[in-house]
């Protein structure tokens, strides 16, 4: 369901090859309770960014064929809102939700 061929399985056809213009994938993120103090959010975001930028994490992802995109706390929140809306629309379209 990716928009580009998989690094580990490049011969597996993309979903769009069957006429479906829809993409989806796994995401990894870190979240905390609503109302966390900004200084705590900033410290946690900086620590997670250090991990994201590390060679060990990049090697881990690459060895499993995973891609990566960084988003700061506001960008991740916006991504989650868009993803929730998109998945809700799909669930309604296939009759899993009203």
Entry pTM: 0.76
Q: Would you say how long the chain is, in residues?
A: 98
Would you give per-residue pLDDT tens digits along the chain (98 residues)?
A: 788 887 778 888 888 888 888 788 788 999 999 999 999 999 999 999 999 999 999 999 989 888 899 999 999 999 999 999 999 998 999 999 98
CA 1/CA 78 separation, integer angstroms: 21
pLDDT at 7: 76
**What is the per-residue DSSP string for 24-39?**
----------TT--HH
CA 89/CA 87 separation, integer angstroms: 5
């Amino acid at each position: 369901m990716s928009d580009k061929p998989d690094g580990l399985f490049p011969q597996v056809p993309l979903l769009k090859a069957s006429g479906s213009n829809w993409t989806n994938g796994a995401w990894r993120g870190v979240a905390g309770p609503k109302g966390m103090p900004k200084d705590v959010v900033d410290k946690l975001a900086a620590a997670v960014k250090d991990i994201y930028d590390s060679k060990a994490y990049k090697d881990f992802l690459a060895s499993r064929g995973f891609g990566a995109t960084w988003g700061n706390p506001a960008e991740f929140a916006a991504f989650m809102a868009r993803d929730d809306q998109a998945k809700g629309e799909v669930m309604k379209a296939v009759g899993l939700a009203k």
